[in-house]
Amino acid sequence: MKAVVIETFGSPDGLEVVDVPVPDPAPGQVRIATEAIGVGGVDAVIRRGALAAHGFRPGHLLGSEVAGRVTAVGEGVDAAWTGRRVWAFTGLSGGYAEQAVASVDDVLPLPTGLTCADAVTLGASGVVAHFALDRARFAPGETVLVRGAAGSIGLTAVQLAAGGGAGAVVTTTAPAERGARLRELGATHVLDRSGAGGDPDAPHGFDVVIDVVAGPRLPYFVDRLNANGRYVAVGVVGGQPPADFGGRLVAAFRRALSFATFSSDTVPGPARQARAVGPVRRRRPRGPAHGRARGPAGEPGGAGPPRDGRGQGVRPGGADPLSGADAVRTSPLRAEPGHHGCGRPVVVAVCRCAAPRCHDDRLRRTFVGTAPGRPAGRRAHAPVSRTVRPTEEST
């Protein structure tokens, strides 16, 4: 089969399409014929060689999320998964290929009407954006800055914040055409990458900052937090921040500022999957939340009650501006073999940048509704039961 590996670290020119053996699913895994492959910021960081010290070497097969049909299952996995349309998290490797393997615990059936391209557009980025805003305890009316808003996580965070009732949604990005696109998606103000230029009417202070970039400018944005402001770093695509940036927080002690990092690795599987493919609705939830199963009732991984979410990184109940916010609007590039609007030589990819030339304007949407066993009309704050079998609508 064809796959894309890193021949040399650096620019996308260092990626090569090669022939590799088709992987066999290990126990607890499924194999997926990929129809769409997510291209995210972590792929770019690995490709540039910034994480070489962590064991990434030339020959590494990139890719962390895919969507397609299950073609084989490993030992201990319900054979009913075979032939199902799914989204899957593959870890930090293995996704840029015609066939990929993933743990069944990281596989989610796709509902009817949700394309594979849409699934990888919303998948991992939706999880990070949702839980980052949750970690920041974002509330309606607050001013939110999304730093590095033109990538997949930033685009989703902008739309979630706007749909959740933010008083203002400020973004940093470049060039100007990306700013125009971000305004269409809910941004109220657009600044340049430095944060010092751009919209003169943008607020100077922020209640919440979601930062995908980090890098040497991070302390400048920490200084722009309002009293009781919360800063959540979800990436380091701009490099590591200065080692002494924490001193800014201590110096502003009386303003009670907070700084946190967030990784989706800290979200338990059921909660992550409940948010993975459909974080929000436009007006009211209209469809069910979809879970996944390792096996049927009475077998390992079989039936069991939904968990209540307490202590699992999700809010157990009550008002949550992130559950049931206005619809996240996504405009993915159609997935075509060998094509990517930004020029990266991948077999099948979905572009998630904000450049208008890379997108169509169709409104894509999916929904989170009620979890199994919960009363109709109550939002699914808790993770969906791990025992939901793949349904016919995912075929």
CB atoms within 10 A of CB 36: 25
Mean pLDDT, residues 143-152: 93
pLDDT reading at 57 higher than 80: yes
- pLDDT exceeding 70 applies to what percent of the chain? 68
- Range list of β-strands (E), the chain: 2-6, 15-19, 29-37, 65-73, 85-89, 99-103, 107-109, 143-147, 168-172, 189-191, 206-211, 225-233, 258-261
Closest CA to 66 of 84, 93, 89: 89
- What is the spatial order of strands in the sheet that 65-73 belongs to? 99-103, 29-37, 65-73, 85-89, 107-109
Domains (range + CATH), the chain:
126-264 (3.40.50.720)
Mean pLDDT, residues 311-328: 33
In this structure, the dihedral spanned by the alpha carbons of residues 91, 307, 137 and 108, taken in order and rounded to 10 degrees, is 30
**What DSSP letter does each residue of 172-211 carry, written as one string?**
E-SSHHHHHHHHHTT-SEEE-TTSSSB-TTS-S-EEEEEE
What pLDDT sits at residue 271?
Answer: 57
> Between 172 and 383, whose confidence is greater?
172
pLDDT reading at 124 higher than 60: yes
Mean pLDDT, residues 282-307: 29
What's the pTM value of the predicted model, to 2 decimals? 0.66
Closest CA to 44 of 266, 238, 276, 332: 238
Encoded tokens for 203: 């607020």
pLDDT reading at 284 higher than 90: no
Chain centroid, CA 152 distance in Å? 7
Q: DSSP class of residue 61? A: B
pLDDT reading at 30 higher than 50: yes
What pLDDT sits at residue 37?
Answer: 95
What pLDDT sits at residue 269?
Answer: 63
pLDDT reading at 391 higher than 80: no
Q: What is the mean pLDDT of the chain?
A: 74
Kindly report, residue by residue over 175-200, the tens digit of the pLDDT. 878 999 999 999 999 999 999 999 99
What pLDDT sits at residue 58?
Answer: 93
CB atoms within 10 A of CB 91: 15
What pLDDT sits at residue 1?
Answer: 95
CB 394 within 8 Å of CB 111: yes
What pLDDT sits at residue 42?
Answer: 82
Among 113-117, 217-221, 303-307, 337-341, the range scoring the smallest mean pLDDT is 303-307
Among 22-36, 50-64, 298-312, which range has the highest average pLDDT? 22-36
Encoded tokens for 286: 């209209």
What pLDDT sits at residue 274?
Answer: 53
> Between 46 and 290, whose confidence is greater?
46
pLDDT reading at 109 higher than 50: yes
Mean pLDDT, residues 211-240: 95
Residues 6+ apart with CB under 8 A from 311: none
pLDDT reading at 211 higher than 90: yes
What pLDDT sits at residue 310?
Answer: 27
Chain centroid, CA 211 distance in Å? 14
d(Cα 57, Cα 250) in Å, to the nearest integer?
A: 39
Among 81-90, 114-123, 145-154, 272-281, the range scoring the smallest mean pLDDT is 272-281
CA distances from 303 to 211, 274, 298, 373 (A): 39, 17, 7, 12
pLDDT reading at 379 higher than 50: no
**To which residue do tokens 């009316």 refer?**
141
Among 39-43, 159-163, 244-248, 372-376, the range scoring the smallest mean pLDDT is 372-376
How sure is the predictor about 41, in pLDDT bands with cuts at 50, 70 and 90? confident
What are the phi and psi torsion angles at 335 (to 5°)?
Answer: -80, 120
What pLDDT sits at residue 292?
Answer: 30
What are the phi and psi torsion angles at 219 (to 5°)?
Answer: -60, -35
Give the distance between the most distant pair of CA atoms in the chain.
Answer: 62
pLDDT reading at 359 higher than 60: no
80, burial (CB in 10 Å: exposed 0-12, middle 13-18, buried 19+)? middle
Among 116-125, 164-173, 216-225, 356-365, the range scoring the smallest mean pLDDT is 356-365
pLDDT reading at 346 higher than 70: no
Residues 6+ apart with CB under 8 A from 219: 241, 242, 245, 248
Mean pLDDT, residues 326-355: 35
What are the phi and psi torsion angles at 249 (to 5°)?
Answer: -65, -40
pLDDT reading at 331 higher than 50: no
> Between 74 and 273, whose confidence is greater?
74
Closest CA to 167 of 189, 149, 200, 185: 189
Mean pLDDT, residues 102-126: 91
Closest CA to 202 of 192, 216, 211, 210: 192
How sure is the predictor about 272, in pLDDT bands with cuts at 50, 70 and 90? low
